[in-house]
């Protein structure tokens, strides 16, 4: 099982050419082992769509429904446990979405599929790209 960062989710769903070879292999394995994504990733994408910075070819509602019904990725809600874990991270990174995504991976004891250099620099989570 693996957790997906927001861009990994987007590229897996809509633009796989953006993925590294390792990411593609990992996502292929995810088809049988499953994956998780924080609901904050849906929110992040929705904000970009709403502001006109991202065109996903459908509404964010439709995108979220497709992900939820994919049978491959489980969308994990951001609850009090996730928020508290994100606050406890020994990491000076200020982006709350990144902190929540890292906390979600840690709480589920899974590696995180991400290209994000700031997340890779944090020693607290195992990253794959």
Which residues, other chains included, contact 43 with Cβ-Cβ below 8 Å and sequence gap of 6+?
97
Q: Which CATH class is domain 2-128?
A: alpha beta
What number of CA atoms fall less than 13 Å from residue 120's CA on the CB side?
7
Give per-residue pLDDT as tens, 11-69: 999 999 999 999 999 999 999 999 999 999 999 999 999 999 999 999 999 999 999 99
Q: pLDDT digits over 98-110, tens only?
A: 999 999 999 999 9
The DSSP annotation for 95-123 comes to -HHHHHHHHHHHHTT--EE---HHHHH-T
What is the pTM (predicted TM-score) of this model?
Answer: 0.95
> Nearest to residue 6, comparing CAs of 48, 37, 35?
37
Q: Where are the domains of the chain?
A: 2-128
Q: Work out whether strand 112-113 and strand 127-128 pair parallel, antiparallel, or are unpaired.
A: parallel
Secondary structure of residue 31 in the 3-state scheme: helix
């Amino acid at each position: 099982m693996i957790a997906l960062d927001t861009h990994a989710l987007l590229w897996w769903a809509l633009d796989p050419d953006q993925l590294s070879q390792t990411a593609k292999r990992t996502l292929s394995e995810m088809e049988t082992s499953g994956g998780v994504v924080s609901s904050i990733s849906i929110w992040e994408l929705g904000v970009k769509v709403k502001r006109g910075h991202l065109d996903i070819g459908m509404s964010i509602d439709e995108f979220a429904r497709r992900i939820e019904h994919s049978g491959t990725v489980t969308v994990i809600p951001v609850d009090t446990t996730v928020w508290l874990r994100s606050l406890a991270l020994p990491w000076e990174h200020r982006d709350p979405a990144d902190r929540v995504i890292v906390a979600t991976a840690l709480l589920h004891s899974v590696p995180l599929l991400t290209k994000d250099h700031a997340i890779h620099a944090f020693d607290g989570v195992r990253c794959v790209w």
